[in-house]
């Protein structure tokens, strides 16, 4: 508990009134002093009750990158049955985060912004709730005895790799397998579920039947990144460059694998595979 300026002033005035009432024997001053003391007692009782039985839950996005803004979901839960919570401020000192919940009954949520400055496992250890309720005389604190951990991936940075340039020159291989992105192979009858943009309206008008365009499919060659063969002197820069490359290649539909230390990740396009690669880079020592 910490006294505010208003609290100190209130105590000084109360003491002054108490001394004056004793010295003068004035009944009115006694009544005023008693009222001041009652208000102080109420502030203590209700203030203590206000911060009791509160809990905090924090959820994190799947992808958080160093030196990039990310948003976390903070939920505060009131476990008291008959008493709502007023003027509850949550403080996460590890990241200098502060947010005020003016009023809630059972629970309240807020989306807060963080910006980690380094990769690896980060934690929220110093989590507090505080309140000046009801009269702003005292700030009551309560530490949340929980630790929340999350993984921060390396900051993506654009780098020019020799094998990346070679990859760009090779481009994509076109196959005779039907798809939606290559050259036009043929015009065929409409199949339920085909996107409207692929309907061939001229052929449809001529035959009175829905016709669709059939294209060849692009097939991307898998890429494998060998961590040790990337000739960059600074470890953090190398990790950032590889992170960027993984994100860009998977965005383009290129299956990507990784050789790092004694581990080998086979090329894949799955989201879980992407998270596994980025986690490996985040925890690299």
CATH number of the domain to which 63 belongs: 2.60.40.10
d(CA 232, CA 229) in angstroms, rounded, equals: 9
The total of structural domains in the chain comes to: 3
Whether residue 186 has pLDDT greater than 80: no
- Structural domain includes residue 166: no
Same domain for 125 and 1, yes or no, is yes
Do residues 87 and 225 both lie within one domain?
no
Mean pLDDT of 83-96: 94
Question: Containing domain of residue 206, as a range?
Answer: 173-219
Q: Are 281 and 247 within 8 A, CB to CB?
A: no
If pLDDT is split at 50, 70 and 90, which confidence band does 216 have?
A: low
Reported as a pLDDT band with limits 50, 70 and 90, residue 264 is very high
- Within this chain, do residues 225 and 209 fall inside the same structural domain, yes or no? no
Residues 284 and 214 in one domain: no
122 lies in the same domain as 7 = yes
For residue 273, pLDDT over 80 is answered with yes
Residue 164: pLDDT band with limits 50, 70, 90: very low
Half-sphere CA count of 31, side-chain side, radius 13 A: 3
State the Cα–Cα distance between residues 248 and 2, nearest whole angstrom: 51
The pLDDT of residue 217 is 52
Q: Is 208 a residue whose pLDDT tops 70?
A: yes
Residues 194 and 236 in one domain: no
Q: Are residues 212 and 231 in the same domain?
A: no
pLDDT tens for each residue of 142-155: 999 999 999 999 99
Judgement on whether residues 133 and 12 belong to the same structural domain of the protein: yes
pLDDT for position 162: 43
Distance in angstroms (rounded) separating the CA atoms of residues 142 and 152: 28
């Amino acid at each position: 508990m910490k006294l505010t300026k208003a609290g100190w002033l209130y105590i000084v005035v109360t003491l002054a009134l108490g001394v004056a009432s004793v010295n003068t024997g004035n009944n009115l001053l006694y009544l005023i002093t008693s009222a001041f003391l009652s208000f102080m007692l109420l502030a203590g009782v209700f203030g203590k009750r206000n911060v009791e039985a509160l809990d905090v839950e924090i959820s994190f996005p799947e992808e958080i990158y160093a030196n990039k803004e990310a948003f976390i979901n903070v939920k505060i839960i009131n476990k008291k049955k008959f008493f709502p919570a007023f003027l509850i401020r949550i403080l996460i000192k590890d990241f200098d985060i502060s947010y005020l919940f003016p009023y809630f009954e059972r629970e309240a949520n807020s989306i807060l912004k963080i910006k980690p400055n380094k990769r690896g496992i980060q934690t929220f250890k110093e989590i507090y709730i505080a309140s000046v309720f009801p009269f702003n005389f005292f700030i009551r604190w309560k530490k949340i005895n929980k630790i929340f951990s999350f993984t921060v991936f390396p900051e993506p940075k654009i780098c020019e790799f020799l094998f990346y340039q070679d990859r760009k020159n090779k481009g994509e291989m076109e196959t005779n397998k039907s798809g939606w992105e290559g050259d036009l192979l043929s015009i065929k009858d409409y199949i339920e579920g085909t996107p409207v943009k692929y309907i061939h309206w001229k052929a449809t008008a001529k035959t009175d039947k829905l016709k669709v365009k059939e294209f060849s499919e692009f097939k991307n060659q898998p890429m494998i990144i060998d961590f040790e063969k990337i000739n960059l002197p600074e470890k953090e820069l190398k990790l950032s460059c590889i992170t960027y490359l993984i994100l860009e290649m998977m965005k383009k539909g290129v299956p990507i694998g990784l050789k790092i230390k004694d581990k080998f990740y086979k090329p894949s396009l799955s989201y879980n595979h992407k998270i596994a690669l980025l986690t490996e880079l985040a925890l690299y020592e």
